């Protein structure tokens, strides 16, 4: 018998690991999965932020725990996966969301900043996906990996946005998603990417201060993302409701990327 829509979206009994999960989009996505019944393991670099985020989730009735880890460091990634498996069992859903940016003109861009952004935004995604797949998903022929890319990976820059490493890393995430989906699809894993537009956050605050009105003017829906904007898509890609979706990326940007010349 075919399942109901509610059953397809149900994540009861599933475990999700969410990096960059202590605030912003990561915490929003963790809430979506937890509200659908998943157990949540949050990770970011700062224990105090994680404690606060987990308390918020637990107050909402969500089974949530945390591990502090730096996803730019391979040893931390291996420890994060090991701790999650030991404390929560197999990992069914991985959200690669930990990220960094750095602003500077391309001609003056420090190589140290380039390496910092690339190491976290794409190398870290690869190492964590590899570890979770090898230690949990591939043997069970099941799992959903969701990579956070960005509309910044779909084209160039607004001229005010001097973030060449960030944009390059997010374009890499999109093709990383495609390649991994093609390779691991025969083993039952799904890999997709979300490309958020502008959501108010610590990372976007400076840019929104400079060009917030220009962004709104170029957005058909006339608004920024909010604290619900990624929940529906995250749940779709994580659950059996999206079981035939893999290798895809979708912009969540109020229509800005659909505007000619946008």
Catalytic positions are 166
DSSP state of 84: H
Q: What angle do CA 121, 148, 141 make, to 5 degrees?
A: 100
Q: If you write DSSP's letter for every residue of 158-195 in order, what string do you get? A: -TT---HHHHHHHHHHHHHHHHHHHHHGGGTEEEEEEE
| Element of type H or E holding 257 | none
Cβ neighbours for 116, distance < 8 A, ≥ 6 positions apart: 72, 100, 102
CA distance 88 to 21: 17
Q: Which long-range contacts (CB under 8 A, 24 or more apart) does 7-10 make?
A: 7/240, 8/239, 8/240, 8/241, 8/243, 9/36, 9/235, 9/236, 9/239, 9/240, 9/241, 10/36, 10/37, 10/239
């Amino acid at each position: 018998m075919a399942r109901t829509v509610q059953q397809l979206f149900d994540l009861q009994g599933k475990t999700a690991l969410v990096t960059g999960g202590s605030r912003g989009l990561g915490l929003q996505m963790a809430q979506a999965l937890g509200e659908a019944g998943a157990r949540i393991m949050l990770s970011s670099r700062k224990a105090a932020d994680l404690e606060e985020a987990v308390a918020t989730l637990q107050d909402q009735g969500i089974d949530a725990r945390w591990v502090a880890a730096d996803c730019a460091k391979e040893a931390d990634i291996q420890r994060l996966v090991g701790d999650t498996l030991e404390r929560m069992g197999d990992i069914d859903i991985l959200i690669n969301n930990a990220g960094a940016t750095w602003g500077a003109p391309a001609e003056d861009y420090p190589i140290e900043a380039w390496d910092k952004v690339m190491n976290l935004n794409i190398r870290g995604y690869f190492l964590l996906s590899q570890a979770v797949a090898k230690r949990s998903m591939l043997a069970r022929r099941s799992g959903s990996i969701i990579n956070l890319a960005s509309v910044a990976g779909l084209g160039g820059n607004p001229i005010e946005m001097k973030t060449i490493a960030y944009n390059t890393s997010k374009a890499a995430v999109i093709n990383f998603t495609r390649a991994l989906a093609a390779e691991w699809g025969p083993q039952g894993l799904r890999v997709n990417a979300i490309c958020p537009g502008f959501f108010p956050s610590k990372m976007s605050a400076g840019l929104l201060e400079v060009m917030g009105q220009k962004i709104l003017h170029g957005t058909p829906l006339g608004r920024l993302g909010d604290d619900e904007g990624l929940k529906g898509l995250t749940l779709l890609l994580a659950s059996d409701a999206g079981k035939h979706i893999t290798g895809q990326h979708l912009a969540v940007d109020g229509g800005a990327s659909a505007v000619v010349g946008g």
